[in-house]
Amino acid sequence: MELFDLEKQFAFFHGYHRNLKNIFVHVVFVWPIFFMFLLMLYFTPPLITHSPINDYLVFNYGFFLALGYSIYYLCLDKTTGSLAAFFCLICWIGSSALAHRLGFSLAAKVAVGSQLLSLVAQLTSHAIFEKRVPSVIDNLFQTLVLAQFFVLLEVLQLAFDYEPYPEFNAKVKAIVDNDIKLWEDEKSKKRS
């Protein structure tokens, strides 16, 4: 799967997220995982020693991770990518402020607890609503990097019938339908 092929990447993701209840659970719980990861990265050493902004916005691994994600998201689609980049910036600022206030020990407890809650909610949602294992089993990259982008794209599609380009949704649907058929065929062969 090509890194910048939005159609194929989203079709893969969408194949695992077709149920509206499962999509809602992901919309609620995907971004907090990213936020809490940035919260923990706040405690990494600064890569640029002096912050021109204030004492808690540190240019460390968290900042550069959020920046890298933002650039990648913008390369995939300008509209969704702009929204995702804005959320990355907000997550970096918010997680930095919270980490600065909580300190390492309490921040670690909050981050681990929040991430566990978010992961359990998503895994349970897949089991109940999709009746299928989550995509993390088949594509770790999408889980770690693209999930945030794709939940925003899902929201834009559902709320505004958004398409990154004409016929995007139809092409993705065709790919998903074909992949689901192959998956169901393979599943039925294993049963017999």
Tell me the torsion sign for CA atoms 25, 117, 106, 88.
Answer: negative
Q: What is the pTM of this model?
A: 0.89
Summarize the confidence of residues 34-42 as an average pLDDT: 97
pLDDT tens-digit readout, 81-131 = 999 999 999 999 999 999 999 999 999 999 999 999 999 999 999 999 988
- Supply the mean pLDDT for the chain: 91
Give phi and psi for 48, each to the nearest 5.
-125, 120
CA–CA gap between residue 125 and residue 87 (Å, rounded)? 24
pLDDT tens-digit readout, 141-160 = 888 899 999 999 999 999 99
Q: Is the pLDDT of residue 1 over 70?
A: no
The enclosing H or E element of 15 equals helix 6-15
